[in-house]
Amino acid sequence: MKWFNVRRMKEAFGIVDLFSGPGGLGEGFCAYDGPGGGFEIEVSVEKDPVAHGTLRLRAFLRRFGTQFPPEYIDFLNSGGPEPNWSELYPRQWTLAEREALNLTLGEPETTRILDERIADIRRRRGDRIILIGGPPCQAYSLAGRGRKPSDLGYVAHEENRHLLYQEYISVLRKLRPAAFVMENVKGMLSSSIENRKVFELVTEDLKSGGGSAEYVLFPLAGGNDVVQDIKPSDFVVAADDYGVPQARHRVIIVGIRRDLMQESEAFSPPRLATVERRATVQDVLRSMPKLRSGISARGGHVDDLADWRNIVAAGATKIAAMPHGLAGKVEEKFVDALGAVNRAHKIDAVKRKDTVGGTKLPDTCPDELRRWLEDGRLTRLTLHETRGHMGGDLERYLFASCWASATGRSPKASDFPDGLAPKHGNWKSGKFNDRFRVQPWDTPSSTVTCHLSKDGHYFIHPDPAQCRSMTVREAARLQTFPDNYYFRGNRGEQYIQVGNAVPPFLSAKIAKALHPVLAQLVDGRAPLRIGDQVEVIA
């Protein structure tokens, strides 16, 4: 008599990615390469057509693994027109179009399409599915509420954005994944709707799975395996604790289906592992090609190198004659930083764009982050192009970067000499305290936001000799998008995509923490389905 051992062959977990943006969260999950399979995006949904263009392009490139088409690398290195991928690689482009959908959640046609895809995914994947994403954060953000009526309970009812998480819940109910990952801004912890905390409403729905399944919610931060007395603040993940060179604090909720946990003999909640040393601005930006800013046409200036050098040098001379309130060695550092640009010929940042080289990360960059960001095939960095600034702002940028070089911090409004104050009646009232913010070399940056599309005042480059705001590529590095990640659209649209995204490096850490837990739970109990691969051992 023969005994047969029927065993499921390990396969990847399928991903449904909602509110995808340019794909930061999905990029990190797809990069997971640990044992026991990995993650594959089945379908991603983004309503903005420009962000969707970026998302679809990345979905296309993943069809080639890490060996992207040579035409893509040539495109990045040359700066020429983007090839027609659908003509060059029709099969891979068709698959990318099926994966990345330009749809608006909540609309009937979107619901119809997703329902069909969900049924197909469940038939093929069974329990090997996860749901990721997060609703738009504008209605939850503290900054957004600050520009709305003062009532603490106001969360943009008219805009209806606070209800978009219900679309996430609807998909959760229909998909019934083994787990989900939901990301949103820290401000949702304090937001209220009709005297109920937004966080309470969201987590109640997440725990019930919309009514068809129960989920247990887990915070990723911290090392305590006991899931008791969890506070809302426990779900806040500080990205800089996990290797991202940016102080980005976001709410990240992981939910795992209760029935899977109950059928497992042992269970350890997923936990992120902190890094020994936080990555800093200089770890990812110091070696990039030096650039000058542009000059705004207002004031009769010509945007050329000579004019720019003269403006910066004249600004340095002007600032040197102003009181700055510094003393001792700090004052010496300030004077030295200012003196390095007080003669036009001393300034070596000569281009606004089209620089070759500088693709290698600084020696100080942690090895894991270096491997994530760098691509040895690149000879230039895309989207490393400066914007134009008015002369008065150039002077304020110069002062602020020299101040940060001397003190290690960005100056507050009260630190600026009166002669550099912008024409705002409440400039020193406290509302504009951080209106001009330098990102010092030796710390993680502040949170990269989509406000970069408006102006660069919050992201002044720390090098006084460059006297400018940061480029899209610099913002992308702080957000840990690989250097070969190309963003579609104009510069403003690129800034918005970068600022709204989840840092892919952090997402990869989440995938690494979650996959072993899911593999243990699902592989240990899931029944066979039609179409499963099996091994028959006599």
Q: How many CB atoms lie within 10 A of CB 493?
A: 20
Q: Per-residue DSSP letters for 347-415? A: -----SS--B---SPPTTS-HHHHHHH--TT-SB-TT--PPEE-HHHHHHHHHHHHHHHHHSSPPPGGG
Tokens of 307: 């004019």
Tokens of 464: 């006084």
Catalytic annotation present for 402:
no
Listed residue (363, 353, 461, 449) closest to 404, CA to CA: 461
Query: 391-407 and 305-320 are packed helices; what angle lies between their axes, rounded to 10 degrees?
Result: 60
- What is the rounded distance in angstroms from the CA atom of residue 191 to the CA atom of residue 154? 8
Of the residues 137, 365, 402, 467, which is catalytic?
A: 137
C-alpha 531: how far from chain center: 37
- What is the rounded distance in angstroms from the CA atom of residue 475 to the CA atom of residue 277? 21
Q: How many CB atoms lie within 10 A of CB 261?
A: 15
Is residue 330 classed as helix, strand or coil in its secondary structure? helix
Place of tokens 């660069």: 456
Contact partners, residue 179, CB within 8 Å, separation at least 6: 130, 131, 254, 255, 256, 257, 514, 517, 518
Contact partners, residue 73, CB within 8 Å, separation at least 6: 377, 378, 484
What amino acid positions are annotated as catalytic residues? Answer: 137
